[in-house]
Amino acid sequence: MATQTLPSEITDSVRSFVVPRNFSIQAVDGRRAGPQTDQPQGQKPLSLADIPKVPPPPTLETHPNDNPDNLGPVLGKFVGTFQGAGMNTIFRPRNGFTKGNLNEDNLLEVNLTVETLQFMESSVLNKVPNRGFDDQVDIDLTGVPYQQTVSDQLNTTTGKADLGKKTIDLHFEQGLFMRIPQTGSKPGGPNPITPPIISRMGSIPHGTTINAQDFEPQAVKNGKPKFPPADITPTFIVDIPGTTVKKGDKQPFRNMQPDDLRKPSNLQKFDSQKTITLASLNNPNLFLQNINATKDIANHWEFTVATKHGKLAGGGVANIAFLVDGVKPTVPGGTRGNATAFDMKCTYWVSTVKHDVLIKPDDYTKRDPILFPTDAQDGVPSPQFLIKLGRKTTQDNIIQVTSTQIQYSQNVSLDFGPLRWPHISVATLVPALPILVPANDPKLAKVK
């Protein structure tokens, strides 16, 4: 079971971020036992995975209410602290390989992750004035600063996500989610009306900054999200002289199969523990689909921010020199970069999840119960609810409540050698602090 405990000073009345005292980004290689392998060793077919469960942190406060008035219907749900579990796949460049051997110039790293995503209060930014020119009126942007920390719980000894305090910290990112309101000309002016836009602006310590955009979704969708396949297969970005390989061709690699140049190199233990599958390795969105299998989802919002948006100007990726300008390419026309971030896109599914909560007979006059919903299960991130009942109960009572769930599937395209390599991360996040059910909530009136 994967666990991650937030520091005791965590609060959702945030005007500052909290970083766990022992958080420190590390290379996976030095922390995982066993070398990568060069040849497949044979392996039985893998089954679908169960996701390791991440329990909520110690309680100091409750999850804040949505803020649609300032942030719109979607970003208005990006409040407080969320926590959960996910999966990460990345093809990393290797050095010292045999020149021209495409099977040796990369290493596929796989992680079972735990993640904390914190949002500051919108009042930190308040209204950000942007001035219009000529017929364009002035506008005010609103938004929330965010901080994302991701750690690896994958244990090659047990085949589980159970490193506990020995977790390997992978990713630290700070940035902004901004909402740009509808824009256009003054009445009678020539400029068209542009719908509201959501922009994610982030800074990554490896040396990359992003500005990714999408139109704010105009309608909520009923039921569960539908997840398209997330393909991790690399793509050629140049023609290879003397071969039939053309720019745009897909190039599967041996490390996408059971054993080969991958960390972890052998998936058999993970198969037996049902934590990683060959299917989810090659389509990480199956992690999200599996999480939702037993959930009762009323509706969801969906949007995809992209640094190269087909219908929006602006946006983009910037890299430090080391990532862009490396050694002479081994293939004519190939990139010189050391994993240059070419573009990024990230789809978010922000769902309203329905739960039943069982209140057992007891005396609640002096204590407020903090309860998991009845659908909570190992392997599935689940919120808790703080019930302000204030009286005795004499029988089992079930109340219906809801929570916000944030899921995402992100692909950062990395260029090195003659190929563009997908770096795909997925996660399911739920409120880290209990959701308040206040004493005056009509749901509690019928509790006996």
Q: How far apart are CA 436 and CA 444, in angstroms?
A: 12
Residue written as token pair 């219906």: 400
CATH class of the 68-444 domain in this structure: mainly beta
Cβ atoms of 234 and 211 closer than 8 Å: no
Q: Supply the pLDDT for residue 281.
A: 87
Q: How far apart are CA 406 and CA 142, in angstroms?
A: 20
β-strand partners of 118: 81, 147
Q: At CA 173, angle to CA 23 and CA 127, rounded to 5? A: 130
Cβ atoms of 249 and 230 closer than 8 Å: no
Cβ atoms of 346 and 307 closer than 8 Å: no
List, in order, residues 6 or more apart from 242 with CB less than 8 Å away.
Answer: none
β-strand partners of 169: 25, 151
Cβ atoms of 391 and 365 closer than 8 Å: yes
Cβ neighbours of 425 (radius 10 Å): 23
Q: How far apart are CA 14 and CA 178, in angstroms?
A: 17
Report which of 233, 250, 271, 251 is spatially closest to residue 42, judged by C-alpha positions.
Answer: 271
β-strand partners of 183: 194
Q: pTM for the full model?
A: 0.85
Mean pLDDT of successive 10-residue stretches along the chain, which has 448 residues: 41 65 63 46 38 47 90 96 94 65 71 95 91 87 96 87 86 97 71 88 97 97 98 86 80 60 71 81 93 96 98 95 76 72 98 98 95 90 95 96 99 89 96 95 94
Q: Supply the pLDDT for residue 18.
A: 75
Q: How far apart are CA 157 and CA 2, in angstroms?
A: 14
Determine the 3-state secondary structure of 25 from DSSP: strand
Q: Supply the pLDDT for residue 256.
A: 61
Q: Supply the pLDDT for residue 377.
A: 87
Structure tokens at 412: 């950062």
Q: Supply the pLDDT for residue 86.
A: 94
Helix count (H) and strand count (E) of the chain? 5, 20
